[in-house]
Each structure stands twice: as structure tokens, then as C-alpha cells.
A and B are shown apart, each in its own frame.
Chain A
């Protein structure tokens, strides 16, 4: 088991290095520089040249990369081009908001999606299955920014139940909770349907297998047969996808964060890419890639732990 872990972490490290190097190369291909975007007409060519030197962009590509990683090892990810704030503080300031948003979003999607999938599978082709089917597939199709803007209009503008913008005051759980409800709905809605369909598909497959029939032949209650013996097997492919989902949502949260004016890493990536704020972009991608690797590794490890067929012969 431990060797498996080490291999995965090693693989993760390589992934991070490659992703960041790819990004470094890509940044140079994309035209534009932070000064032109921030200062517009005020940015003179001399200043751009001075900035390039300051950021070391004039050095050969490999040297830049090597220097970036050595300083990254020491925890120094450079500083924001304009505000000169350390990238690590900028990124870790915004990260918790996106993290709580994603976990709440995926959280309620799992709580609703998985049982929905199970009931649909159990009552296959029943009216419930058909309605749940159309609902879940329909919600997959709606882009998160459309859900976000409509919930904004309904819940905060017309009904006035929920605050419209921001992430709430620190330390005040109620305020943070009311501020995360709609964004979590927007980000999670698509996932409810997605998880429901996946769980239904794999549940149907598992329910058809012989060992389920064996358990029924021993008179076990339906609840035990379905929610213990069938679900434990059927949930495995979903867990693998959840790991990926968290990684995907890191950048997909940009839409929700823009519409609800929430702080977050998704919007930070988008804005720093637009402003060509290279150090911040690099910092964001480095850290989101690390998180992505951690979440996929965790979900793989979880699948291995939960699936003795693989765990035992590791």
C-alpha cells in the first residue's frame, strides 16, 4: 500500500512540473503584458522592457524554468507584478473560498444525486425513474452561469431571501452560509444529474450480478442488499470521477465566482490570465495543479481502499 502511495505522489510531482512548464511556455506564446493591460496608454515600451528584465523573462526559457522551480521549492512563488504582494499570500487568501464552495457544491450534489440514482435504478422504468431521468439530464445541460444568474434574480432580487454578493464576513458562520447557498447550488446542480445518471447506470449493472441474487436468496432486507451490498460496489466508479470533478471545478468555479462576485481562485486565475500577471498565473496553476493531483490521488486511493480486489493484490 505504501509503495502505491509513493508512486502516486511521485507521479503527481511530475505532473505538477510538466503542467507548470507547459504553462510557462504557453505564457510566452500568448501576446500581451501586464503593464499594457493595467496602465493602457500609460505603459511605455521602456517600462515593458524594464518589467521583462525584473521578471527575468529575457533569460532563456530553460533558465527561467529552473529558477522558478528552485525558488518555488523554497516557497517563494515570486510577487504580483503591480502590487508586489507575494504570490503565495495572494493565492492562499483566495483558495479557502473556492474550496468551501466546491466542497459544499459537490457535497449537496452527492447527498441528492446518489440516492436519486439508487432509487432510479431500483425502480427502473417506473414513472419516478423517467422523471428523475429527465430532471437529472436536463440539469446537466444548464451552464452554471445561467443557473447562477437566475438564482441571483429569484432569491436575492425578487425574494430578497439571500444576499447577492461576496462571501460573508469572516468568523460569522451564518453570514458565510447564506452567502454560499446560491453559488453552491449553481456549481452543484449539474453534478446532481451527472452523479444520478452514473450511479443509476452502475447500480443497474451491479443489481444484475449473481452475488446480489445470493444475498436476496438469504432473505436479507432490501435496504441492506441495496444500500450496503449493491451501493458499495456501484459507488466505486463515481468516487474516481469525484476526484476528477474537484479538479475540474477549480477552474469551472470562475463562472460562479464572477456572477456572485465571490473571491476565489477560479476568478483569480481568469483575471490574472487576462491581465497577463505571470507570477500570479504561475502561482495559481502550480497550486491548483497540486490540489488537483492530491484530489485525484485521494480518490484513487479511496477507490483502492474500498475495492479489495485491487487492494489485496497490490
Chain B
């Protein structure tokens, strides 16, 4: 008797292809996806793509405007700006990926504890968050750089510690507002442990906004690195980080504006990419925002 209308129609789509299907028809998400993939690929194959050695100094060809030989011109030491931007993407991604994931997970754990834990724990967490955040980043960066040396890891540590409070505070606010929602009371009434409640129930609700903040944090992280270079405590020269390129761009702005543009544009594209990808992924995974029947 089974005719076509009655076979069991449970969707066979695998999880991944369903996400891809959704992503395809969200144009902004697609734009974000394309940009992110480009940046990641450029970072991975940086050394093949870069036409010149990013640190090869060539004084006689310096401060040149873009030309066929140097597509984005050269910097104040005659190094090819395009190669520096390409290799710089490795540093930018490394700083962004590591520090954001560390800061997010740190913030997540501390935030959940602060939001869900007893009042005294909450107060201690607020204490930590606000103390770290009220600290002038300059002083903090300087102290760390002098103690641990001006390496990329120091920059990452500075970025992680200064970003954890932001994540922590958002997660705490979210947890606090969810704490007295019925589904949490229901779960607690079944005697579920704190870890289970936090991990299984609180996390999915909190991860949504966190994804957005994390994706919007990419530029903040790289700007902090740029800021540190501007204040002279950035990565160890001649590392071609986008921050140091922007800083050189600023110092030699009157000679050529191309260095600053070459440092700024990839940063903007990466940010737009991560943010829109983050947002469309959030829309896909966040049950509340789905518009089915």
C-alpha cells in the first residue's frame, strides 16, 4: 500500500551538508565564508604565494608606489609590501586564532562559574574581570614584554589576558539571565550536577552570542597588536605582522600611503569575513532564530 507519499521522510542529509545548504542561501554568510577561506589559504601557502622574501631589504627600491614589479609597492626599507602582507596573514591568524580561542574558553569557564556559582564566587570573578580590564594595557604589555621578551607569545598572552574579562562578563550576564529560566530549574530538579547543567544546557544558549563576539574580536586582537607596535612594544622586527606594517604605514604616511592601506585592507577583509561567517553560523545553529513552522 505504500505509495510515494508515505515513506518515512526523516532527512538523510548529513549535518555538514545541511549547514552548507543553509549557508549557501545566506549571501552574507557565503561572503564571510569565502573571505575566511581565502585568508586561511593565503596564510597556509604564504611562503609559496609571496613573490619576494618579506624581510629582504633593498634600500634603493624603497617607498615605491605599486608597480608591476611590486604590486603593493615597497616599504621604507625596500621590502615588498605584498609579500609582507601575505606572510603577515600567518601571524595575524595565529595571534587571532590562539588568543581568541584561549580568551573565549577562559572567559566561558570563568563566566559560567561566575553566573552559575555561589554569590561569593561571582564577586571574586567580577573582581578579577574588572581589575584586569581597568589595567592600562600599555603598562601590562610593557611589564610582560620586559619580563618575557618581545616575542609573539608575549603578545598573545597580553591579548588573552586583556580579552578574557570581556568574554567572561558576557557569559556571566547570559548565564545570570538564563539561570532562573524554567528549563534550568527543571534540570536541577532532576538532580543534575552543575557541570552537566553548564555543559549541556547553559553552553548552547551562551555559545551563540559568544560566536558573534569572538568573530568581531578578530580585528580587536590584531588592532591590539598594531597598537603595541605603535607604542613600540610589538612583535620582534622584522616580523611582518599586520600591526607592524600598519605602524610603518603610519610612520611613513607622508612618503607613501600605500603601506598603511596594504596593512589596513586585509585586516578589514578578515574582519568582515569572520564576522559574517560567525553570524550566519550562529543563525544556523541557534534554535531560537530558526524560522520553520
Asked whether A and B interact, the reply is: yes
Chain A positions within 8 Å of B, measured between CB atoms, are 7, 11-12, 14-15, 18-19, 22-23, 26, 29-31, 125, 130, 133-134, 137-138, 140-146, 149-150, 153, 194, 197, 201, 204-205, 208, 237, 240, 244, 247-248, 250-252, 254-255, 269-270, 273, 281, 284-285, 288-289, 292-293, 296, 309
Interface hits, B35-52 → A, CB 8 Å: none
- Contact with A138, one of B165, B231, B249, B272 (Cβ below 8 angstroms): B272
**10 A-B pairs closest in CB distance:** A141-B271, A141-B219, A292-B134, A251-B136, A289-B134, A141-B268, A26-B143, A143-B223, A137-B275, A143-B226
Q: Which residue of B lies closest to A265 (CB)?
A: B136
Given contacts A134-B272, A137-B276, contact A288 B134 (CB under 8 A): yes
Contact partners of B165 in chain A: CB under 8 A: 244
A-B interface contact total, Cβ < 8 Å = 143
Given contacts A11-B126, A29-B147, A149-B250, contact A140 B220 (CB under 8 A): yes
Interface string of B108-150 (1 = CB under 8 A from A): 0000000000000001001100110111111110110011000
Q: Which residue of B lies closest to A248 (CB)?
A: B133
Does B28 reach chain A (CB closer than 8 Å)? yes
Interface string of B213-231 (1 = CB under 8 A from A): 0001001101100110011
Chain B positions within 8 Å of A, measured between CB atoms, are 26-28, 123, 126-127, 130-131, 133-140, 142-143, 146-147, 165-166, 169-170, 173, 177, 209, 212, 216, 219-220, 222-223, 226-227, 230-231, 246, 249-250, 253, 260, 264, 267-268, 270-272, 275-276, 279, 288-289
Docked complex Cα distance between A138 and B138 (Å)? 25
Contact partners of A30 in chain B: CB under 8 A: 142-143, 146-147
Min CB distance, A163 to chain B, in Å?
A: 19
Contact partners of A29 in chain B: CB under 8 A: 143, 146-147
Decide: B276 and A19 in contact? CB cutoff 8 A: no
Decide: A269 and B136 in contact? CB cutoff 8 A: yes
- Contact with B272, one of A12, A141, A204 (Cβ below 8 angstroms): A141
Decide: B131 and A137 in contact? CB cutoff 8 A: no
Docked complex Cα distance between A281 and B166 (Å)? 25
Further pairs besides A137-B272, A142-B264, A145-B226: 10, Cβ < 8 Å: A26-B140, A29-B143, A125-B26, A125-B27, A143-B230, A237-B170, A240-B173, A251-B138, A284-B136, A285-B136
**Dominant secondary structure of chain B at its interface with chain A:** helix
Min CB distance, B129 to chain A, in Å?
A: 9
Decide: A149 and B146 in contact? CB cutoff 8 A: no
Min CB distance, B213 to chain A, in Å?
A: 9
Contact partners of A285 in chain B: CB under 8 A: 135-136, 139
Docked complex Cα distance between A138 and B135 (Å)? 27
Decide: A197 and B134 in contact? CB cutoff 8 A: no
Min CB distance, B54 to chain A, in Å?
A: 21
Contact partners of A270 in chain B: CB under 8 A: 138, 231
Min CB distance, B207 to chain A, in Å?
A: 14
- Contact with B166, one of A7, A134, A244 (Cβ below 8 angstroms): A244
Q: Which residue of A lies closest to B141 (CB)?
A: A273
Contact partners of A146 in chain B: CB under 8 A: 246, 249-250, 260, 264
Contact partners of B166 in chain A: CB under 8 A: 244
Q: Which residue of B lies closest to A26 (CB)?
A: B143
Given contacts A137-B272, A146-B260, contact A197 B131 (CB under 8 A): no
Decide: B27 and A130 in contact? CB cutoff 8 A: yes
Docked complex Cα distance between A22 and B288 (Å)? 43
Docked complex Cα distance between A11 and B267 (Å)? 38
Contact partners of A130 in chain B: CB under 8 A: 27-28
Contact partners of A204 in chain B: CB under 8 A: 289
Docked complex Cα distance between A22 and B134 (Å)? 12
Min CB distance, A136 to chain B, in Å?
A: 9
Decide: B271 and A140 in contact? CB cutoff 8 A: yes
Interchain residue pairs with CB less than 8 A apart (13): A125-B26, A130-B28, A134-B272, A138-B271, A140-B275, A143-B226, A153-B253, A205-B289, A244-B133, A247-B133, A251-B138, A269-B139, A285-B136
Q: Which residue of A lies closest to B209 (CB)?
A: A201
Docked complex Cα distance between A150 and B249 (Å)? 11
Q: Which residue of B lies closest to A202 (CB)?
A: B209
Contact partners of B219 in chain A: CB under 8 A: 140-141
Min CB distance, A16 to chain B, in Å?
A: 8
Min CB distance, A13 to chain B, in Å?
A: 11
Docked complex Cα distance between A88 and B209 (Å)? 41
Docked complex Cα distance between A258 and B184 (Å)? 50
Docked complex Cα distance between A237 and B139 (Å)? 29
Given contacts A194-B216, A240-B173, A254-B231, contact A288 B136 (CB under 8 A): yes
Docked complex Cα distance between A170 and B133 (Å)? 32
Q: Which residue of B lies closest to A313 (CB)?
A: B180
